[in-house]
Structure 1
Amino acid sequence: MTSSSTRHRITSTLPFLLFSLLLLYLIHSSKLLIYPPQITTKITCQHPNLTTTSNPRKTTYDTELKHIAFCIAASSKLWNSRKEYIKLWWRPGSTRGAIWLDKKVKIKQNETITLPDFHISQQTSRFPYTNRQGHRSAIRISRIVSEALKLGLDDIRWFVMGDDDTVFVVENVVRVLNKYNHNQFYYIGSSSESHFQNIYFSYSMAYGGGGFAISYPLAKELAKMQDRCIKRYPGLYGSDDRMQACMTELNVPLTKELGFHQNDVYGNLLGLLSAHPVTPLVSLHHFDVIDPIFPEKNRVESVKHLLESSKFDSASLIQQSICYDVKREWSILVSWGFAVQIMRGIMSPRELEMPSRTFLNWYKVLDYTAYAFNTRPVARHPCQKPFVFYLNSTRYDESRRGIIGIYSVHREQHPRCRWKTESPEKIHTVVVLKREDPDRWLRAPRKDCCRVLPSTKEKEGIVYLWVGHCGEDEVIEV
């Protein structure tokens, strides 16, 4: 047995020992945090593309034009003029689908080859319609996809809806839909350019004039319940808001693709098309209420002229590029396949990428807050009114192994300018060189870069530009 004095010494030193042990533990723990122990276990890393037997995640779904059925809503009253738009983009033998009319129309014998098949929509008198501002044909049009499903077309993955004055860039329709799994429920389209329209109807609605796409399995589900759904919404205005109401009941939201264009505007589309979003141009609409997009041509000729460029590089159609002629202090805005604009002075890319207000809102309101996107004035200074060069011709050059676009000046009066910088008024032609880039949308979205090329023909009034994929460390700066 220990003596009482010994027990006293042990108990008196015990707190000191415990404190020392605790201090040593804390010091050791802090070292572990600062200097983690080395792991001696050997770990081998293998590149998945070289060693794995499973396929990498698919980014496309092998959708082709043959997998798409176009459903075109047409009116017998407007048929004689609207059919000319359909002829521009429809490709006999390649495109599939049909036109749906309210009643029979006269069709010339040679038109049966250049146009889709025709169908008369089913009667909709059993459905109530109470909207005083609209027309009950909206019910007929809203059922076109369901009626197209009953045609039993084989190997269809998507139904694409559009009006008789909707023009599609079919290659870009394929590009956009190829991003999505057609076996899933998809409702794809875009909203209006008009902020007021979107408030009145819905920002969650795909506007029918701009066109929208519905995957095959979703179309099947829609067909099962659509008639019941339509009866629940007699007060809605159009076909597209009825469609969106039924999609809401199916719990399917809108997947937005900004390349579908309702074009709820009036006037000149130069500002809108020259600042196209970085996405494929899928469709354009409302050609009867906008100015011809090429001033010296009528509406149908203008659309045909634009689509000629798509034959050379449909993926790049109307894509925006910005560059500068530093020597002459010019800002240059390229909308490939459409127009080139040259402005005196250096304007920032942030400003140039915004659409200039060359157009009016759908309600003809001169109010910059009336749009669903940012806009800028046409010219902040009289000297900066753009000199516009519209596409004249496009061709492929074998020697350069690239595309040559010729853009000719649009002659119009410019205000007097007191700036001492050189005026673009002496330029009559802009030549844009580029190469086809069909895989551009398989990469991350990015605008093409633009460069002013040195030329001996500047004194003759010709400017040469190069437009193409940006190189390493290439930025827009002056």
Structure 2
Amino acid sequence: MPPSSAALALPRHHPNHPNHPTIHSTVSWLFLSLLFLYIVYYSTLLFEPAPTITSTTIQTATNEFQDSENLQTNTSKPPTEVLRFDTELKHIAFGIAASSRLWRIRREYLKLWWRRGETRGAVWLDRQIRTTKNENLPDIHISNDSSKFPYTNPDGDRSAIRISRVVSETLRLGMEDVRWFVMGDDDTVFIVENLVRVLSKYDHNQFYYIGSTSESHFQNMLFSYGMAFGGGGFAISYPLAVELEKMQDRCLKRYPGYYGSDDRMHACMSELNVPLTKEPGFHQYDVHGNLLGLLAAHPVTPLVSLHHLDVVDPIFPGMSRAQGIKHLLESAKYDSASIIQQSICYDKKRKWSILVSWGFAIQIVRGILSPRELEMPTRTFLNWYRRLDYTAYSFNTRPVTRHPCQKPFVYYMTTTKYDEARDNIIGIYTLHRERHPNCRWNIESPEKIETVVVLKKEDSNRWTKAPRRDCCRILPAKRNGTLFLWVGNCQENEVIEL
């Protein structure tokens, strides 16, 4: 939906005491010269290239993992009686709603997650376009004429009717052995392994309408907390899709004043007496700005989808939006179940709080913040309606920093490797250089850490167990400027104690 044109700035938090020394009114030319040289030098530090990740760094990481006395063997086992269904990727048919006007840009997102020969489905466009052979894309179809349906909403676009019929038209393609129809937009990226994990919890022979709501409280009030927002994607079981196809055209004629496709779909689901089954891993991302705060504090559930990628900033600095998502999916290849899952630990000696979002970013903060605070998203982003402040989210948030000394030092994932000999996954995270306020605390600055190495094992069964964050431990370091961490299943009696 089109965002408001009004601009909104993030709230600023000022310390109670001055952090910057005052400048005397009389300054000699020598002092000005030194100040100029200092500024030039500091600027070069800010924009210097990230340290090169060498094979030596990776080998050091594996040795630390092997030698660490802190690492214990995980003896926990998945439950023996977990009701799950044998759903596979081949049982899912995707219906992708696309626009010919935006296709040239949006198809780059689709290429990132589509797997020719494995994923099935179709892209539905409003008119014919030029195509290139051998592109990693689904079959392209043209939506049927929907001009006979009335549309009276003054703020929307009647393409919403066409898009609301994507599931029914995908059903009419007659694909065999389909258990689930999954709808998404052309700027929706799915983590398909996690989609399969989520749908495997449900009996595809029953009527299921699965998805999630918006991050904006106002959006949910305007539409419904019981509606699956279509951009984040939603799933409909096969028998429900059959019933929907029978009645949908009649249903659509009853709601000409609705805005979009997803509220029309919700109206038809209500007529079929089927409520929304909420899965918070489907993400509409009705926000603007930097997704760091949301991704780093992802709920303890599989990451299923990302949407509105053209609206938010690239998730990795220095990359395009599509490149950033591709970079994230590189880590997902090694442990898709754990992608961006949060872990919390503390360096008690240096009084640091450490927040790990595996495969994405690590944040180190001076001082000890409680896990209850760290698991809450920081407001690095803006509301969809920019005139609304941070109270208009549908979840709790916290300011980026309460004190200038506690602005986090962020380390973004540079590379993820698999050590076959030791059956370990090694993640290398590099400090993102940015200006930090002057800090007068007598606490060592994390800026001395250039690289964080995270070691873990694949945990493909984590979602067959009760949801729980991974535990995080600091490993002994044998080189300056590098912090070694281990993340994985918590041991018996293991808790985060401040």
The two structures have a TM-score, normalised by structure 1, of 0.87
SS of residue matched to 1:477: coil
Q: Which amino acid aligns with 1:473?
A: N
Q: 1 CA distance for matches of 2:468 and 2:442?
A: 35
Q: 2 CA distance for matches of 1:468 and 1:367?
A: 37
Q: 2 CA distance for matches of 1:335 and 1:187?
A: 29
Q: How does 1:266-415 map to 2 (within 5 A)?
A: 266-365=288-387, 367-415=389-437
Q: Which amino acid aligns with 1:293?
A: I
Q: 2 CA distance for matches of 1:366 and 1:473?
A: 43
SS of residue matched to 2:230: coil
SS of residue matched to 1:214: strand
Matched, 1:418 2:430: no
Q: 2 CA distance for matches of 1:294 and 1:476?
A: 29
Q: 2 CA distance for matches of 1:295 and 1:365?
A: 26
* Residue in structure 2 matched with residue 461 of structure 1 by the alignment: 481
Summarize deviations over 1:18-53 as a string: whole Å, max 9, x none: xxxxxxxxxxxxxxxxxxxxxxxxxxxxxxxxxxxx
Q: 2 CA distance for matches of 1:219 and 1:137?
A: 21
Summarize deviations over 1:290-347 as a string: whole Å, max 9, x none: 0000011110100000001110000000000000000000000000000000000000
* Residue in structure 2 matched with residue 32 of structure 1 by the alignment: none
Q: 2 CA distance for matches of 1:76 and 1:125?
A: 18
* Residue in structure 2 matched with residue 84 of structure 1 by the alignment: 108
Q: 2 CA distance for matches of 1:141 and 1:477?
A: 50
Change in CA separation of 1:396 and 1:241 when aligned onto 2, cut-off 3 Å: same
Aligned-residue offset at 1:365? 3.5
* Residue in structure 1 matched with residue 216 of structure 2 by the alignment: 194
Residue of 40, 63, 67 corresponding to 2:91: 67
Q: 2 CA distance for matches of 1:294 and 1:250?
A: 43
RMSD: 0.9
Q: Which amino acid aligns with 2:123?
A: I
* Residue in structure 2 matched with residue 49 of structure 1 by the alignment: none
SS of residue matched to 2:231: coil
Change in CA separation of 1:439 and 1:221 when aligned onto 2, cut-off 3 Å: same
SS of residue matched to 2:248: helix
SS of residue matched to 1:209: helix
Aligned-residue offset at 1:272? 0.4
* Residue in structure 2 matched with residue 122 of structure 1 by the alignment: 144
Name structure 1 gaps, 5 residues minimum. Answer: 1-55
Aligned-residue offset at 1:399? 3.4
Q: Which amino acid aligns with 1:276?
A: H
Q: 2 CA distance for matches of 1:228 and 1:241?
A: 15
SS of residue matched to 1:293: coil
Percent identity between matched residues is: 74
* Residue in structure 1 matched with residue 6 of structure 2 by the alignment: none
Change in CA separation of 1:266 and 1:283 when aligned onto 2, cut-off 3 Å: same
Q: Which amino acid aligns with 1:72?
A: I
CA contact (8 A) 2:153 2:259 kept: yes
Q: 1 CA distance for matches of 2:129 and 2:81?
A: 49
Give 1 or 2 for the bigger CA radius of gyration: 1
SS of residue matched to 1:69: strand
CA contact (8 A) 2:164 2:261 kept: yes
Q: 1 CA distance for matches of 2:287 and 2:162?
A: 26
Aligned-residue offset at 1:368? 1.9
SS of residue matched to 2:335: helix
Aligned-residue offset at 1:364? 1.4
Aligned-residue offset at 1:455? 1.2
Q: 1 CA distance for matches of 2:132 and 2:467?
A: 44
Aligned-residue offset at 1:58? 5.9
Matched, 1:141 2:163: yes
Aligned-residue offset at 1:110? 3.0
Q: Which amino acid aligns with 1:200?
A: L
Matched, 1:101 2:121: no
* Residue in structure 2 matched with residue 438 of structure 1 by the alignment: 460
Aligned-residue offset at 1:57? 6.8
Q: 2 CA distance for matches of 1:288 and 1:135?
A: 19
SS of residue matched to 1:312: coil
Q: Paired residues, what number?
A: 419
Greater relative CO, 1 or 2 (CA 8 Å, sep 6+): 2
Runs of 4+ off more than 3 Å: none
Q: 2 CA distance for matches of 1:58 and 1:466?
A: 28
Aligned-residue offset at 1:366? 5.5
Aligned-residue offset at 1:398? 2.3
Aligned-residue offset at 1:454? 1.1
SS of residue matched to 1:300: helix
Q: Which amino acid aligns with 1:63?
A: T
Q: 1 CA distance for matches of 2:82 and 2:202?
A: 10
Name structure 2 gaps, 5 residues minimum. Answer: 1-79
* Residue in structure 1 matched with residue 41 of structure 2 by the alignment: none
Matched, 1:254 2:276: yes
Q: 1 CA distance for matches of 2:421 and 2:353?
A: 30
CA contact (8 A) 2:82 2:464 kept: no
